[in-house]
Structure 1
Amino acid sequence: MSLLRSKPAQQSAEQWGAWAKNQKTVLEAKYGHGSLHKRATGTNYMVNQNGDSSYYGSLAIGTPPISYNVILDTGSADLWVAGSNCTIGCDDVPLFDPSSSSTFQNESTAFSITYGSGQAAGFLSQDIVQMAGFEVENQIFGVCVQVSSGLLTSPVSGLLGLGFQTIASSGATPFWQTLVTENAWDSPVMAFHLTRYLNVSNVRTLEPGGSFSMGFANSSLYTGDIDYVSLPIEGSYWILPITEITVQNSSVSAPSGSESYAAIDTGTTLVGGPPSYISEIFAQNSWVPAWDWGL
């Protein structure tokens, strides 16, 4: 069938504007208004650094948004990045420059945080933070000018805490908690899929690290049903009671009561606990490294 192109009618700019507005309304009615369909899930793909030593993802800060790599840590609750004025512990690390963002605000408040592996210190600020398609406009975070040696390894610029606000050194609401409170997610769920390169002799410094799912659990990455367990201590760390321990098909005695509480911490490579139980766990392994597991 032959198609013929008709000559468009002569119309003024105002008439064309009214026509375009009408067409917009028609398309929204037919296909749905974009703003009514919030992005309910997102995935941040991670990098495995130095053979399972740490896992990092990326987020963007400021206007215009600039991307930074950050360690994803469920064992803390603060977001911070090394700033352009960082003088200690920031060699070869991409630095955040406050002057590069038109939406940056300095809170003029000192900030410091201590981990088992070191400390970071600087000042609090706020700006737009984006990750996996989600955005928090006035996110409080630390801009650090001093970082303990070895805490950051290029290309990592900082850390994103995924614990609860009650344990935040800054007192600020964590990025993920704001998204849950504002119902930005389809479901109030976070999930990690971590790769492992244990005993791989030719492992590279940077390898694919898995994924961090926000607002859903990727059903292609597990089988069976998810067992949901209530937190014995709400609003702090991600703590679960250990009810059973099996190592290489051998049962290991587990503590009871509050002694059985264990924190799920993506920011550490170690297993810690009472020496008697930790010794029994690792006694089942023939490859036990010379570490001190007792707390």
Structure 2
Amino acid sequence: MFRVHLKKTKSVRQILQEHGLLDDFLKKHPYNHGTKYFPGLQNTFATDSEPMQNYMDIEYFGTISVGTPPQEFTVIFDTGSSNLWVPSVYCSSGACSDHHKFSPQQSSTFRSTSQTLSITYGTGSMTGILGYDTVQVGNIQVSNQIFGLSQTEPGSFLYYAPFDGILGLAYPRLSYSGATPVFDNMMSENLVSQDLFSVFLSPDGQRGSFIMFGGIDDSYYTGSLNWVPVSVEYYWQITVDSITFNGQAIACSGGCQAIVDTGTSLLAGPPNAIANIQNFIGGQYSNGQYIVNCNAINKLPDIVFTINGIQYPVPASAYIRQFSSSYCASGFENMFFHSDLWTLGDIFLRQYYSVFDRANNQIGLAPVAK
């Protein structure tokens, strides 16, 4: 069992704002403002968990290594994508100059390919080449893992990002260039005792966030896990029954599809439904986000997501993000890229311990222990 711990710092949005770049960035990327994108045991640590860093409730990331000897990188552990990529010495973009870069020449186990990789994110993009090498996540060592070596990382988002790359944990069908995801190799090489991983995202900064490969830590949640079938094996996609506010349906009244995504910071949905929610919580659009009166945190009721017959309330203290005593913003945002899908990002996941079960194609959810 191995757990990767996650830590906490300032958000990319805040950094862009401090540098006077946020408005220009939002004009160029008019969607996903808090997100990243859409499109017999052989190991003694058969269940392993990795610490992750909470980047001011925007991104969660931890450390992996690639190559022999190991070269370390910080990556987002992202259930909304399937590729692993890191910056490389072949990259001349400004974003690469400010991050760790993988050098194939310094790894005795690297194997090159002629395949290319191109991924477009709602808040950035990368192009590069694919190669194979040893990837270590905590104490789990994956041999001959295919991964991307970035050659370009244009734009400001990845330049200011506190992480180097991304480790995707969704289904193989979502993987660009047909690259086998890291967790699929963990499963096929019998490196985990169970074909699942679980995630705890600290809601208060008091306890360390983590992702656990091959196991579940029941001390981090209350009650029992409720299991939700995966409806489409692409993203970690599920069916939501309804979204209610004071018992009144304010969105998804006839049911809808949602992605459970550790790589998305906010709660995203179709523009019309999000506009309705902003209206209910008093959100006023300003400079790329919806501003909410901070007093509303103590007055507004929970917004309840009913999933597979079980209610999952999200309190106002979670869906309203407080940056100062007088500056608060809505945690809901428009999703234009997949206008028919909702995304249950970190705002939701901080409330619920989550288990991503590949063996049974289901997601387990339980309230985090307070």
Contact 1:78 1:170 in 2 (8 A): no
Report whether the alignment pairs 1:95 with 2:101.
Answer: yes
Q: Is the 8 A contact 2:43 2:191 kept in 1?
A: no
After TM superposition, give the deviation of residue 84 of structure 1 in Å. Answer: 1.2
Give the equivalent residue in structure 2 for 1:120. Answer: 126
- Encode CA deviations 1:4-54: one digit per residue, 9 max, x unaligned: xxxxxxxxxxxxxxxxxxxxxxxxxxxxxxx877322111111122x2221
Q: Take 2:77 and 2:42, find their aligned partners in 1: how far apart are those partners?
A: 30
1:186-265 correspondence to structure 2 within 5 Å = 186-196=193-203, 210-234=209-233, 236-247=234-245, 249-255=246-252, 260-265=256-261
SS in 1 for 2:146: strand
Q: Tell me, in whole angstroms, the C-alpha distance in 2 between the residues paired with 1:48 and 1:114.
A: 24
CA gap 1:90/1:208 in 2 versus in 1, 3 angstroms: farther
Aligned to 1:293: 334
1:69 aligns with 2:68: no
SS of residue matched to 1:90: helix
Residue 273 of structure 2 is aligned to residue 274 of structure 1: no
Rg larger for: 1
Please say if residues 243 and 254 of structure 1, whose CA atoms lie closer than 8 Å, have aligned partners that are also in contact.
no
Of 130, 138, 157, 1:132 maps to 138
Q: 1:37 to 1:144 in 2, by over 3 A?
A: closer
For residue 170 of structure 2, what is the amino acid of its counterpart?
G
The separation in 2 between residues aligned to 1:256 and 1:184, in whole angstroms, is: 42
- Counterpart-to-counterpart distance in 2, 1:37 and 1:83: 29
Q: 2:166 maps to what in 1?
A: 159
Structure 1 unaligned spans of 5+: 1-34, 198-202
Please state how far the C-alpha of 1:221 moved relative to its aligned partner.
0.9
Unpaired runs of at least 5, structure 2: 1-40, 291-332, 337-370
Assess, with a 3 A threshold, how the Cα gap between structure 1 residues 209 and 119 changes in structure 2: closer, same or farther. Answer: farther
Secondary structure in structure 2 of the residue aligned to 1:217? coil
Cα offset, 1:187, TM superposition: 1.8
Paired AA for residue 103 in structure 1: T
Does the Cα contact within 8 Å between 1:152 and 1:158 map onto a contact in 2?
Answer: no
Alpha-carbon distance in 2 for matches of 1:105, 1:175: 16
Q: Distance in 2 between matches of 1:208 and 1:121?
A: 36
> 8 Å contact 1:39–1:133 — kept in the other structure?
yes
Shift of 1:172: 1.3
Residue 30 of structure 1 aligns with which residue? none
1:173 corresponds in structure 2 to 180
Deviation of residue 155 (structure 1)?
4.7
Q: Deviations over 1:229-267 (max 9, x none)?
A: 111112x100011113245x544344367x611011121
Question: Per the alignment, in what secondary structure is the counterpart of residue 273 of structure 2?
Answer: helix
What's the secondary structure of 1:283's corresponding residue? helix
Q: Secondary structure at the match of 1:176?
A: helix
- Residue 272 of structure 1 aligns to a residue in which SS? strand
Equivalent pair of 1:47/1:208 in contact (CA under 8 Å): no
Taking the aligned partners of 1:283 and 1:67, their CA distance within structure 2 comes to 45
Q: 1:54 to 1:209 in 2, by over 3 A?
A: farther
1 or 2, which has the higher strand percentage?
Answer: 2
Q: Distance in 1 between matches of 2:221 and 2:284?
A: 28
| Deviation at residue 122 of structure 1 after TM alignment | 1.1
SS at match of 1:151: helix
The C-alpha deviation readout for 1:144-201, integer Å capped at 9, x for no partner, is 011122125465221111111111112111001121233322222212111346xxxx
Provide runs of 4+ in structure 1 moved above 6 Å: none
> Could you tell me how far apart the structure 2 residues matched to 1:52 and 1:164 are?
25
Separation (CA, whole Å) in 2 of partners of 1:184 and 1:246: 41
Taking a change above 3 Å as real, the CA distance of residues 250 and 285 of structure 1, as seen in their structure-2 partners, is farther
The residue type equivalent to 1:229 in the other structure is: V
Structure 1 distance, partners of 2:42, 2:142, is 18
Q: What's the offset of the Cα at 1:70?
A: 0.7
The one-letter amino acid paired with 1:139 is: Q
Paired residue type of 1:275? P
Matched residue SS, 2:105: helix
Shift of 1:116: 1.1
Which residue does 1:283 correspond to in 2? 279
Q: 2:74·2:164 contact (CA, 8 Å) conserved in 1?
A: yes
Task: Give runs of aligned pairs for residues 138-149 of structure 1, distance below 5 A.
Answer: 138-149=144-155
The 3-state SS of whatever aligns with 2:277 is: helix
For residues 258 and 265 of structure 2, what CA distance do their matches in structure 1 show?
A: 14
Cα deviations by residue, 1:52-88 (Å, 9 ceiling, x for unpaired): 2211111111111122101111111000000012111
For normalisation by structure 2, the TM-score amounts to 0.62
When the two structures are superposed, what TM-score results if normalisation uses the length of structure 1?
0.76
> Percent sequence identity over matched residues?
35
Count, aligned residues:
250
**Residues of 1 paired with 2:106 and 2:207: CA distance?**
30
- The DSSP-based 3-state class of the residue aligned with 1:282 is helix
